[in-house]
Amino acid sequence: MKNIAELEAQFQAKVDAEIKIEPKEWMPEKYRKTLIRQISQHAHSEVVGMLPEGNWISRAPSLRRKVALLAKIQDEAGHGLYLYSAAETLGIERDELVQQLLDGTAKYSSIFNYPSLTWADIGAIGWLVDGAAIMNQVMLTRTSYGPYARAMVRICKEESFHQRQGYEILLTLCRGSEEQKAMAQDALNRWWWPSLMMFGPRDADSPHTAQSMKWKIKRKTNDELRQQFVDVTVPQADFLGITVPDPDLKWNEETNHYEFGEINWDEFWNVVKGNGPCNRQRLEARQAAYDKGAWVREAATAFAEKRAAVAV
């Protein structure tokens, strides 16, 4: 019988050798808990993330835009479901995860607590929010936990379609009338900083990053991913002909990276703690959806019981 220290050493050796950890294998309790936290918060983000865009389905400017938006939002529901399933492989029930979202003990991404005020916001969400999500999720295709890594492969493919549909909305607006271009600029002004916040606190203020990097749950730190996102996205804004709302933004020839201004961390933590512009509205919408779905859960349970009784 091996003691905990030996099991932990064996586990770390496996992680270091890039061998995926699978559900039934031994893992440190803290590794399991970290994954449940991260995967479930990721799932909640996908599900809550449908709300700002759902707001525009009935107001999409054409049938083509409406079909693409509907498909994107359905993908997000699907991502939420894969991710809840991946979390369930770690020994927790989906109902418990959903309760944690509804009672506010589990987080979801801060970005979804901002309102989608104009059609250009739907472009900005696809371009910036999905763009940031991809940056983070490409590294997660190589995360150490097998079911999470595999779920991420498909999710990333779909996110890349989402990013392009958002960028194309903005490209159309920026090639349109002065008013349309101004709407695109206004969307960038409002979504830029919250998108940078999506990557989480600075590495120095991130309690989980060091351990998650050691376990290869995360393969890049919050600051590394944020920098990568800025470097990729600024030239895309230039191509659109709109301006990133950061007077401190400048290219550094020596580092080959953009330098950018200070994020408003008070705003970030305020939103994370539940005081953003739409936190209450988002949770009320999820609670209402849960309540309205009670009859489906009851019917499915009754059907399963009936089937089990027949099988006996």
Alpha-carbon Rg for the chain in angstroms: 21
Query: Which residue, among 203, 202, 193, 258, has the nearest Cα to 230 in the 3D structure?
Result: 258
Q: Which is nearer to ligand FAQ, 160 or 243 (CB)?
A: 160
Q: Which of 35, 46, 167, 240 binds ligand FAQ (CB under 6 A)?
A: 46
Is residue 109 near ligand FAQ by the rule CB under 6 A? yes
First to last CA, the chain: 40
Using the minimum distance from each CB to ligand FAQ, give the nearer residue, 147 or 200. Answer: 200
Binding mask 216-255 for ligand FAQ (x = CB under 6 A): ------x---------------------------------
| Per-residue interface string for the shown chain with ligand FAQ, residues 262-291, x marking contact by CB under 6 A | ----------x-------------------
Out of 88, 130, 158, 246, the residue judged to bind ligand FAQ by CB under 6 A: 130
Structure-block tokens of residue 60: 């999409």
> Two tokens at 249?
């933004």
Nearer residue to ligand FAQ within complex by CB, 137 or 185? 137
Enclosing H/E stretch for 296: helix 294-311
Surface-to-core class of residue 150, CB atoms within 10 Å of its CB (0-12 exposed, 13-18 middle, 19+ buried) = middle
Whole-angstrom Cα distance, residue 275 to residue 166? Answer: 27
Which of 226, 149, 215, 146 is CA-nearest to residue 193? 226
Candidates 11, 49, 98, 174; binder of ligand FAQ (CB under 6 A) is: 49
- What residue is closest to ligand FAQ based on CB? 49
By CB under 6 A, which span of 14-22, 95-103, 129-137, 182-190 interacts with ligand FAQ?
Answer: 129-137
Distance (Å, whole) CA 41 – CA 105: 10
- Interface mask (CB under 6 A) for ligand FAQ, residues 137-176, using x and -? ----------------------------------------
Which one among 27, 36, 69, 198 touches ligand FAQ, defined by CB under 6 A?
A: 198
Q: Which of 220, 188, 215 is nearest to 203 (CA)?
A: 220
Distance CA 16, CA 14 (A): 5
Point out which residues bind ligand FAQ (CB under 6 A): 37-38, 41-42, 45-46, 49, 76, 107, 109-110, 125, 129-130, 133, 136, 197-201, 206-209, 212, 222, 272
